[in-house]
Amino acid sequence: MIEKESLYGKIPLYFEKNHGQIDTKVKYLSRCFSSDIFFTPEGIAMVLNSSEDNNKKQLTKKNKNNKRPTGEDITSSVFKFSFVDANNDIKIAGQDELAGKVNYLKGNFTNFLTDIPTFAAIKYREVYPGIDFVFYGNDQQLEYDIIVKPDGNPNDIKLAIDGPEHLRIDEQGHLVMEENDREVIMKKPKTYQNNDGIEQEIQGEFSINKGNILCLELGEYDKTETLIIDPMLDYSTYLGGSDVDLGFGIAVDSDGSAYVTGETNSTNFPTDSAYQNSYAGEEDAFVTKINTSGELVYSTYLGGSSSDVGRGIAVDSNKNAYITGYTFSFDFPIESAYQNEKAGSADIFVTKFAPTSAGLINNVVEFSCTSTVSDNLEVGEEFEGETIIPSEDLVIAFTSDLKQYENELEIDIDIGGKVCELSCLISKVKGCIDYAISTKCANVITGDVGSAAACCSSTVCVDRIIDFDEEDKLVINVILNDAVIYHCHDKKNIQFSGKFILSCDDCSY
């Protein structure tokens, strides 16, 4: 199962046997942070929990005193999948017992339940004649295989779905279940047979019959061999801390990673490879990247000492993230800015993040210099008519006079009449970098004086705020672009360009 706008989540990879911790109808169960799944001989029941307050309320400066969600605000969506016309005596057994045990220590010690076994999979035997169901965890996704043996008939497979208000099949063949303004999706099944070790795909699709009965429509297959039908169950994940957190924008890149932005009121919002590790104001924007396994690639606060909200996010083909929103903060973090100061009560912001860490990609210092070929010289024969000199044929030498400056700031923040003091360390890197670029080839320029390499030199100056500690070592990485040969006013020119990327050990960049 998968929520339409939140595709990624950590799901349970083990199954508990029922030893009295739940109703006796349930034979096995699987729990995770946002859902519980119960396995009975009649079918499975899935309970997905969500916070009504988190999903529907949008905090603004006018309703800032809204309280955080409580247990009364938590709503559950229940989806039941029942076997129709199935065998009356279905056996459920755990498979591949795990080393881990589950303990329930509630009430008097005489009622403690201990050493409950866990399994990597559970198997429903003979749900229909010649047909088994196997549930298991795979890459933090819950999957189930329907195994149709040669004596089984896939037309017997029917699941009654109870809970959703509406069911439909989308353009991709996925089953979409809608309930309480929420969409949950069961992906189109992968159907195949193994033929001498080679997986042969079989056409397979969902269909919905009267009474919300889910059936399968299959193409031709070899009825003397076992058939595997493999739908996939995914789950959405919670993302947030102990206070109110709201997501307003999501984007997905070509690898399937998700990029999310919104606002957080939590001082313990999860961060990883962060540009800004700490909560800074009344509410901060956040930017989070999650890969297809549900793991954080990066997650960061983004904001100053007042209210900041991320409203939209996009990602380009290089997996750079672009975030926009609004800020009330005079000290919103900026780099290489078109506008360096806040101009109104609330300003729009636009921020660009790098692909693998939430470092401002504008923490890059670009450089460019041009070598003009004198009238009595020419571009060598090897490069005559060419428009570029490849970057691998270039070398650069540079010296830097960068210094780190640190300023202790104490900021008073008024939150709901309560004044909090925030101390922070601002690190600034400032200075200049002298550089010289030349070609490796000694015959780029030729003339009366013989041949020579093309070269030029210049200086760029740096004024950047970087979040690192005094112990951290500043690293300058250099990227050289291809040199460009061009004509201007009857003169031949060779333009060199590239960028210095400032980074450091054990810091945000």
Structure tokens at 401: 């006079």
Please tell me the least confidently modeled range out of 285-299, 354-368, 374-388.
Answer: 374-388
Checking if the pLDDT of 13 tops 70, the result is no
Checking if the pLDDT of 162 tops 70, the result is yes
Checking if the pLDDT of 467 tops 60, the result is no
What average pLDDT does range 471-482 have in this prediction? 80
pLDDT category of residue 489 using cuts at 50, 70 and 90: low
The reported pLDDT for the residue numbered 53 is 37
Question: What are the structural domains, with CATH classification, of the chain?
Answer: 2-233 (no CATH), 245-353 (2.40.10), 364-504 (no CATH)
Write out pLDDT tens, residues 374-432: 665 666 555 555 577 888 888 899 888 887 766 555 556 565 566 665 555 556 677 88
The reported pLDDT for the residue numbered 252 is 82
Write out pLDDT tens, residues 258-271: 899 999 988 888 88
CB-CB contact of 15 with 121 (8 Å) = yes
Average pLDDT, the chain: 78
Q: What percent of the chain has pLDDT over 90?
A: 25
Task: Say which residues have a Cβ less than 8 Å from residue 509's Cβ, sequence separation at least 6.
Answer: 275, 357, 359, 360, 363, 466, 467, 468, 502, 503
State pTM to two decimals. Answer: 0.46
**CB neighbours of residue 506 within 10 Å:** 9
The reported pLDDT for the residue numbered 72 is 44
**Torsion sign (Cα): 117, 122, 126, 127:** positive
The reported pLDDT for the residue numbered 4 is 38
**Maximal CA-CA distance, the chain:** 101
The reported pLDDT for the residue numbered 70 is 41
Write out pLDDT tens, residues 207-261: 999 889 999 999 999 999 999 998 865 545 557 777 888 888 888 887 778 899 9
The reported pLDDT for the residue numbered 291 is 77
Q: What percent of the chain has pLDDT over 70?
A: 72
The reported pLDDT for the residue numbered 413 is 56
Please state, in angstroms and rounded to a whole number, the distance separating the CA atoms of residues 73 and 441: 71
Checking if the pLDDT of 16 tops 60, the result is yes
Checking if the pLDDT of 63 tops 90, the result is no
Please state, in angstroms and rounded to a whole number, the distance separating the CA atoms of residues 330 and 305: 8
The reported pLDDT for the residue numbered 354 is 73
Write out pLDDT tens, residues 85-109: 999 989 999 999 888 888 887 777 7
